[in-house]
Structure 1
């Protein structure tokens, strides 16, 4: 059941995400940037020039053979990894909606499988792990992003993979430390100062894997860098806690001597090297934007290879662009409103005429793709985060702290950019951790295995009703997530808040 349950949940998630994946047959929202850039990477190795990247090219949809891409490099605001991921689908299926959405659907499905396994390891419960994965499978925001060629779902995937790697590393390091402790007459490990402060934990390949994943996240969008900082702090605190439990009098000093090197060397440098390697196509090109900026330039930094200095100059320009992005947008929102779904983003909207595209001849219809989280799931998650804060602050529950760290890493940095144009769909990066928070809260409702039968029965009824309501809520909003044609009144009835319109 440790694998069967997660695989069944992932199969359901995949069926939902791949169903009619090419619908709508249009370039929706920012697909006009990333689908084109991915095709350019596939053909040139770098982002070439299109007549207008901001406007959907009707020729792409009408005749994919008519491509208006030229080879002069163009300035882009995000690193290449996410676009390389999208390019894999375009390589297999061509430059059409199914092709450029294929890989995000794959990553969305695999992320559900990963979350099931991560939840199982975190909570030591297959049921709660599968519940967390099922909740994410039924989240509207995750669903829409899994069916759109945007970068944020790719960031989410690598962040979640890094978290899973760090969980495995934590378990294995603690097992090695426990094996070094003396045992009592009953065969149980007992704290020992000398063993706790002097025992090394050996090679830590899962931390190296986490460093690679975090480098890939940052080389998709720069907000992955904040996750690297949060996760580095998390691993250090985990190591300190392990040394303290093992009996160390000075756990921080023990970590500094035995563990910190692995944290710094396996996360930060590995992530940096991974980031640079993702620019290989740009390094190998002659016409990539700014590729030869540093050629024949002297100065104090001339000892650094010219390609690296050119990349640094390019990235500085990207930084200036991102921090200076203040253009007003109809669907921008303040991060304060994200958790309560204050302002979702409309990716696509059409009003089919009566009698067209499944619309009845006597009614007006709507066809939308709305990046909106499943409301009951997100509003439940707000309460669950309060419960996890209690568990972490007053009960010192490391599981609650780990989940809160994941939410904070994907959420809190956006408050630094109050004047920047930001959108609520960026929150998909921490959706897995919201689902873990709800699953942990459901576990508390169920009660411990040894609880009274009446207590467990009542908890099961409440928890089951909550999960069924969330499932119903996802089904109710499903037409808005999947671009189905519904009567206008049906669309209007689903606009629960005026800010959703």
Structure 2
């Protein structure tokens, strides 16, 4: 990694602090249960207190806003199995939300705290992985800055939904694999200097970054099942990188080396370990009697061997129920959108809207939280992704291929459900795609600025173009900020920020 190592960390950290200030300022505002927080905030509290999700009493949202926890009063310890709640997402994201509630109480700040933390950490991770991919601290900081001021990432970092946690673990897994790529090539280079060439090359030993990637991608699957698409795509990508590394040092059978030397250690790291991580996230369900379909009394009736067997049987049965639910989810919703429209931001989700009278100096006021990306970044990202396609076709550059693969893994699978099942989907499902869209922008920015050996005039012009785009993104975020944070503004100002009147309202 060329450049100053101190600034390689200090620059991304400064950008991360900027993102943290944005996300933690007035995090508990609005003091209300927004959109699907009504499910996940309650499920998280139940997981922390009972080990499994539980049903709640009528008007639970009002009780929560009073700071009460008596919504689980009907779930007495002796009757906890009667309160089992049928939920359709794995528990890890809700466990993470619950940690914030454990520290800061059952309040909007408490249930949004964990999302803000992982949102901030994802800024740092993206800045560092972009620096590693471009070998430029400046471009790494640009990636972190763009993520910090993306509207969708910002809103989801301040909302207790699961998708921000899915994005975090996917990005962390990708970053680990990029680090593993450099690590493996370093090991191969050392071997090349000291050993005679062979057909397949050496076994590289245990690969700590690949193991870390398996943990992170397993955690992604333990937040939402859609993490499996990233796990499969990135596992294949990592093995293709191994083949490219072996071919680059002149091995005659690079793919033989991958299958004979790399695959045997990759399977435990990128298949077994993610599966164990996913199962571990259900520990509360296995260890408590109150989970949906748990059959605790039956499992504990005939000894420890039967307990394990019957518990897994109940767990698998529950998963088949959830699979049936997801494949048949086609309930119309006012804010649903098809995946083809996500990159264009045609139908965002209104997480919160109220019309407080007289609170803004006029009788007509608006207070909104709109889950929408920053248009300058998203439309610039669309152009950059097209450039990545051309760049990859022309040069087979691994960076362009990795960015396109990550974006495709978060986007293309949804087309199947849109066509086959007419499934209900929302724009915020696209949040795992956003880091890869920003990486595409950063790679394109590097091409526009040019290499260090380019004429100074060319680099100055390129830097001016990239700087102008960054300034536009900052201004666009500032312009949208009132409708991302439930600021009370006159209705006319709210309406002026609705870019597509038909889709954004």
TM-score by structure 2 length?
Answer: 0.93
Which residue is equivalent to 2:328? 324
Q: Is residue 2:157 matched to residue 1:146?
A: yes
Structure 2 residue ranges without an equivalent (≥5): 1-6
Judge conservation of contact 2:201–2:251 (CA < 8 Å) in 1.
no
The alpha-carbon distance between structure 1 residues 347 and 231, as it changes in their structure 2 partners (threshold 3 A), is: same
Structure 1 residue ranges without an equivalent (≥5): 184-188
Judge conservation of contact 1:27–1:56 (CA < 8 Å) in 2.
no
Judge conservation of contact 1:214–1:224 (CA < 8 Å) in 2.
yes
Which residue is equivalent to 1:18? 24
Which residue is equivalent to 1:308? 312
Q: Is residue 2:132 matched to residue 1:129?
A: no
SS of equivalent residue, structure 1 residue 315: helix
Judge conservation of contact 1:177–1:200 (CA < 8 Å) in 2.
no
Q: Is residue 2:493 matched to residue 1:493?
A: no
SS of equivalent residue, structure 1 residue 229: helix
In structure 2, C-alpha distance between the alignment counterparts of 1:490 and 1:384, rounded to whole Å: 31
Which residue is equivalent to 2:179? 168
Which residue is equivalent to 1:119? 130
How far off its partner does 1:56 sit?
Answer: 5.7
In structure 2, C-alpha distance between the alignment counterparts of 1:263 and 1:272, rounded to whole Å: 13
Which residue is equivalent to 1:98? 109
Q: Is residue 2:383 matched to residue 1:383?
A: yes
SS of equivalent residue, structure 2 residue 452: coil
In structure 2, C-alpha distance between the alignment counterparts of 1:198 and 1:378, rounded to whole Å: 43
Specify which of 232, 235, 244 is matched with residue 232 of structure 1: 235
SS of equivalent residue, structure 2 residue 46: helix
Judge conservation of contact 1:334–1:422 (CA < 8 Å) in 2.
yes
Which residue is equivalent to 1:31? 37
Which residue is equivalent to 2:289? 286
Judge conservation of contact 2:60–2:71 (CA < 8 Å) in 1.
no
Cα-Cα RMSD: 1.9
The residue correspondences of 1:2-401 to structure 2 (distance < 5 A) are 2-51=8-57, 57-68=61-72, 70=75, 71=80, 72-182=83-193, 193-194=197-198, 197-292=200-295, 295=299, 305-354=309-358, 356=359, 359-360=360-361, 362-401=362-401
SS of equivalent residue, structure 2 residue 370: strand
Judge conservation of contact 1:64–1:96 (CA < 8 Å) in 2.
no
SS of equivalent residue, structure 1 residue 95: coil
SS of equivalent residue, structure 1 residue 338: helix
Which residue is equivalent to 1:186? none
Equivalenced residue count is 485
In structure 2, C-alpha distance between the alignment counterparts of 1:106 and 1:113, rounded to whole Å: 11
Judge conservation of contact 2:201–2:246 (CA < 8 Å) in 1.
no
- Which is further off, 470-479 or 248-257? 248-257
